[in-house]
């Protein structure tokens, strides 16, 4: 259910749910599988629990009136508010964060989450959350 007025609290509830479902997927599957497998499993859990999920959508770029198709794609967009980028890497590197921050800026979304399934504990070391000015401008509650 999407409230009439989007708030920081609502966006935070979505991101909390995403991380919780990612932890469930992580507990059930080995950490060395392909990102696409985790993506499908996480999408399934989110959808059966009432969330809207878009996967692998192209990110449009407009440069001075020129619409460019540069092949940029986000992994997941949940409830049209939270971008989720999934990884199966030894550890996050700066380019992972930069990529997500660019997607957030281009799509004007309030929050993004990097999730690494190649870790021991997603909650402690396998996720990073980022907020944008769009998030900061939302009412708190």
Residue 84 within a domain: yes
Residue 2 within a domain: no
Residue 112's CATH number: 3.90.1570
Q: Structurally, how many domains does the chain consist of?
A: 1
Q: Model's pTM, two decimal places?
A: 0.92
Domain membership of residue 103 as a residue range: 8-136
Q: What is the pLDDT of residues 98-120, one digit of tens each?
A: 999 999 999 999 999 999 999 98
Paired sense of beta strands 82-87 and 111-116, if any: parallel
Residue 33 within a domain: yes
* Distance separating alpha carbons of residues 118 and 88, to the nearest angstrom: 5
Paired sense of beta strands 76-78 and 61-63, if any: unpaired
Residue 1 within a domain: no
Residue 106 within a domain: yes
* Distance separating alpha carbons of residues 123 and 108, to the nearest angstrom: 26
Q: What is the pLDDT of residues 45-65, one digit of tens each?
A: 999 999 999 999 989 888 898
Per the prediction, the chain carries an average pLDDT of 92
In the chain, DSSP assigns E strands to 53-55, 61-63, 66-68, 76-78, 82-87, 111-116, 127-131
Residue 3 within a domain: no
Residue 46 within a domain: yes
Give φ, ψ of 96 to 5 degrees: -65, -45
What is the pLDDT, as a whole number, of residue 39?
A: 96
């Amino acid at each position: 259910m999407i409230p009439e007025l989007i708030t920081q609290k609502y966006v935070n509830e979505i991101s909390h749910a995403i991380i919780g479902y990612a932890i469930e997927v992580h507990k059930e599957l080995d950490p060395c599988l392909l990102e696409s497998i985790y993506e499908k499993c996480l999408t399934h859990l989110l959808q059966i629990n009432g969330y809207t999920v878009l996967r692998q959508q192209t990110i449009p770029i407009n440069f001075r009136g020129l619409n460019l198709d540069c092949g940029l794609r986000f992994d997941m967009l949940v409830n049209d508010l939270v971008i989720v980028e999934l990884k199966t890497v030894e550890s996050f590197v700066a380019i992972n964060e930069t990529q997500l921050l660019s997607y957030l800026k281009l799509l004007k979304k309030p929050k993004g989450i990097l999730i690494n399934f190649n870790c021991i504990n997603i909650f402690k070391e396998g996720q990073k959350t980022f907020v944008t000015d769009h998030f900061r401008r939302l009412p708190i509650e």
